[in-house]
Every structure is written in C-alpha cells, then in structure tokens.
Amino acid sequence: MMIYFASDHAGATLRSALLAHVQAAGHAVCDLGPYDGASVDYPDFAVKLAEAMQQHDNAYGIAVCGSGIGISIALNRFSWVRAALVSQPEAAALARQHNNANVLALGERLTAPEVARHCVDQFLTTDFEGGRHERRVEKLGKIGGNHC
C-alpha cells in the first residue's frame, strides 16, 4: 500500500511526524511536500496529492493544513478522492468502515500529535465494510453538476 503525504506550511510539522510514524510501521510513503517552510497554498498541495493518488489504485493519502478544513475541501473536488477530516481515532475508523475514505485530513493547530498518530493508525488498519455502505459510496463518485 502506498501512502502519499501532503500539507501546506501550517501542517508541515505534523505531516513530517506522521510520515515518520507511518514509515516506521513499514508502509511505503511518498512525501509531496512542502519542504522548505515557505508559505504555500493548500489547494496546490491537494492537487498534487489527488493527482498522485489517481495514478495508483489502492493508494491512501494523509493531508494536513492548519485546521484540516481547507485541504479536505480542495481534495474532495476530485471524484476519486474521499477525504475525511477527523479529530478523533473513532472518526478515522468510521471514515474507513462506512465511507471508504482514502484520504485522512488533519488539522495541525487543532489535533495533538499523539491523537493524530492514533487517527492515522485507525485509518490504516480499518477496512471498508461494504454491504449497505457500498451503494452510498458509489453515489459519492457520481455527484456533480448543478443541483438546486
């Protein structure tokens, strides 16, 4: 399983810590940056993450910005991405079980590093249940256009 990491400048410290945590657990990782601490725009790194994930079936992503809100909104613009913004491990597990989320979004300013690590662990070790949830997840990929 390939796990892609991306953030903006406000999420870079947590991104780096989580990347090291996931790498130490033996997973293949790819760090999409940013790397130098300069101020950057979260939509640019959401695009990098979404495009990287599109190239690999079964890829997962971990995205971090200051609150997690902006990067999750940007990621969910892509039909193949199901980004879940969570702040508790239970929510990370439910995002996988019920929503087949493939990106975990976190806010560095709002989530303690230890809690974020537990969220990542739950996200990466929880399987999608399928069943009654399958048709709902399929509908997510079909939403688009102008709805009133």
Let me know if 119 is a catalytic residue: no
88 and 95 in contact (C-beta within 8 Å)? no
123 and 93 in contact (C-beta within 8 Å)? yes
Catalytic residue among 65, 118, 119, 148: 65
- pLDDT value, residue 133: 81
Report whether the peptide linkage leading into residue 43 is cis, meaning its omega lies within 30 degrees of zero: no
Catalytic residue among 21, 27, 30, 98: 98
Let me know if 148 is a catalytic residue: no
CB atoms within 10 A of CB 112: 11
Task: Quote the CA–CA distance of 3 and 52 in Å, as a whole number.
Answer: 10
Burial of 117 (0-12, 13-18, 19+ CB in 10 A): middle
Q: What is the pLDDT of residues 36-78, one digit of tens each?
A: 989 999 999 999 999 999 998 889 999 999 999 999 999 999 9
**Weakly modelled stretches of the chain, pLDDT under 70:** 144-148
Residue with tokens 């601490």: 37
- pLDDT value, residue 141: 72
Candidates 3.40.800.20, 3.30.420.40, 3.40.1400.10, 3.30.559.10; correct CATH number of 2-140? 3.40.1400.10
- pLDDT value, residue 146: 55
- pLDDT value, residue 24: 97
Domain chopping of the chain, boundaries: 2-140
